Amino acid sequence: MKKVFKKKINIKDIAKETGFSMMTVSRALSNPEKVSKLKRDKIDQVIKKRGYIPNLFAGNLKSGKSGFIMVIIPTLRTSIFNEYFSGLRETLDEQNFQPLVGITDYSLEKEELIINKFLGYKPEGIIVVGTKHSKKTREILLRSNVPLIETWDLNHRPLDIIVGYSNYEAGYNITDYALKQNYKKILFVTASYKFMQTEVRGAKRFRGFVDRMTKENLKFENFQISDPLDYIKSGKEIFSFYKKHKSKIDCIITFNEMTGHGILSVALKNNIKVPKQLGIAGIGNGGLTDILENKLTTVNTNRYLMGKLAASKLIERINGQTLDKRIFDVGTSIVKGFSL
């Protein structure tokens, strides 16, 4: 049996049924405050009855107000960005903005492609994770003249506004905390150097670790995991390295929290006495730490606050408000668990 499709309803049909001009119907959809409530109610009634879906995008292009906010994040494979995105989305929702989400998979080339494509939807603002971009992406962002918030890091040369924290200090401070707990032979786990050339936040955390250890004239170890997004595999890889170098390691610090959970889980399964025999810590306090009995010592990077603050500062920029500064530091703090 041949499927019969209903005729697509357009704005002309709505105008004919309501008895109003096409201009009045169009205005009721794009600028409802300029149309009387009586007329709006009648137009809404017909729209609901006929199942009309207005093409708001065309009107928004003319007005310059799409209601879209471009949001670029590295991955959805893990929960790392959940709290951040929740804070961001809640604040955008309050002001009737809709996020257009692009996933880069930690690729600067993919970030460039996504941003270039999404600019065609005329976003009113842009929020990106990180301050490291390709030369072409920087040019595109600056040329677009769209309010921009960079997040999850700090530097002294923001393209527009930065809302983040010092990844260097996060690495430095968790190392300082480990030293104060009398650990001296510390292994710092990172992704590969090649990966950290793109994802520079991990590189900055490692640099903070190196500087704090160097300050104490202590030797240190570095181990690079093969897949920074596979925490089970990472835990096994780290433990294998630890078994071979036990005499040189009394503490393991991982460049992110989930990798810390990975090695903590494997260590406990192998009857390693944590923290007496081996101290373990990570960076980045997510919801997982809060629900576990054996809590990982980690660094709170205030992800939810960062998302809310980034969205609110972007909205202020969109509304033409002058901000008193360009760099907003949400700070970090040590979250004490049993593992260190």
The tens digit of pLDDT for each residue in 65-84 reads 788 999 999 988 777 898 99
Inside any domain, residue 253: yes
**Same domain as 25, residue 145:** no
Residue 136 and residue 200 in one domain: no
In a shared domain, residues 31 and 94: no
Same domain, 191 and 238: yes
| pLDDT higher than threshold 90 for residue 25 | no
Does residue 20 lie in a domain region? yes
- Determine how many CB atoms are found less than 10 A away from the CB of residue 189: 29
DSSP secondary structure letters along 306-322: HHHHHHHHHHHHHTTPP
pLDDT tens profile 203-214: 999 999 999 999
Mark whether 206 and 278 lie in a shared domain: yes
Q: How confident is the model at residue 60 (pLDDT cuts 50, 70, 90)?
A: low
pLDDT of residue 78: 74
Domain hosting residue 239, numbered range: 168-300
CATH code at 248?
A: 3.40.50.2300
Residue partners of 325: CB distance under 8 A and separation at least 6: none
- Torsion angles phi and psi, residue 45, rounded to 5: -65, -45
pLDDT of 29: 80
- Alpha helices for the chain (secondary structure H): 11-18, 22-30, 37-50, 56-63, 82-94, 108-118, 135-144, 167-180, 193-198, 200-215, 231-244, 257-269, 287-291, 303-318
Please tell me the pTM assigned to this model: 0.82
CA distances from 286 to 151, 178, 292 (A): 17, 20, 11
* Residues 276-304: tens digit of each pLDDT: 999 999 998 766 656 667 889 999 999 99
Instruction: Judge if 188 and 295 occupy the same domain.
Output: yes
Domain annotation covers residue 5: no
What's the pLDDT at 59? 58
- The verdict on residue 180 lying in a domain is yes
pLDDT band at 55 (very low <50, low <70, confident <90, very high): low
- Residue predicted with more confidence, 61 or 116: 116
Question: Within this chain, do residues 154 and 30 fall inside the same structural domain, yes or no?
Answer: no
Indicate whether 7 pLDDT > 90. Answer: no
State residue 287's pLDDT score: 62
Residue 98 shares a structural domain with residue 183: no
For residue 63, pLDDT over 60 is answered with no
pLDDT reported for residue 28: 84
The reply to whether 182 and 251 lie within a common domain is yes
Provide the pLDDT for residue 291. 60
Do 142 and 177 lie in a common domain? Answer: no
Which tens digits make up the pLDDT trace of 226-269? 998 888 999 999 999 999 999 999 999 999 999 999 999 999 99
User: Please, what is the average pLDDT of the chain?
Assistant: 90
Q: How far apart are CA 218 and CA 213, in angstroms?
A: 5
Q: Is residue 262 situated within a structural domain?
A: yes
Predicted confidence at residue 1, as pLDDT, reads 47
Alpha-carbon distances of 40 from 15, 25, 159, rounded to whole Å:
12, 8, 42
User: In the predicted model, what is the mean pLDDT of residues 40-61?
Assistant: 75
- Looking at the structure, tell me whether residues 207 and 267 fall in a common domain: yes
Q: Are both 274 and 185 inside the same structural domain?
A: yes
Look at residue 4 and tell me whether its pLDDT is greater than 50.
Answer: no
Q: Is residue 59 part of a domain?
A: no
How many separate domains does the chain show?
Answer: 3
In a domain, residue 106? The reply is yes
**pLDDT confidence band for 26 (50 / 70 / 90):** confident
| Residue 1 counted as domain residue | no
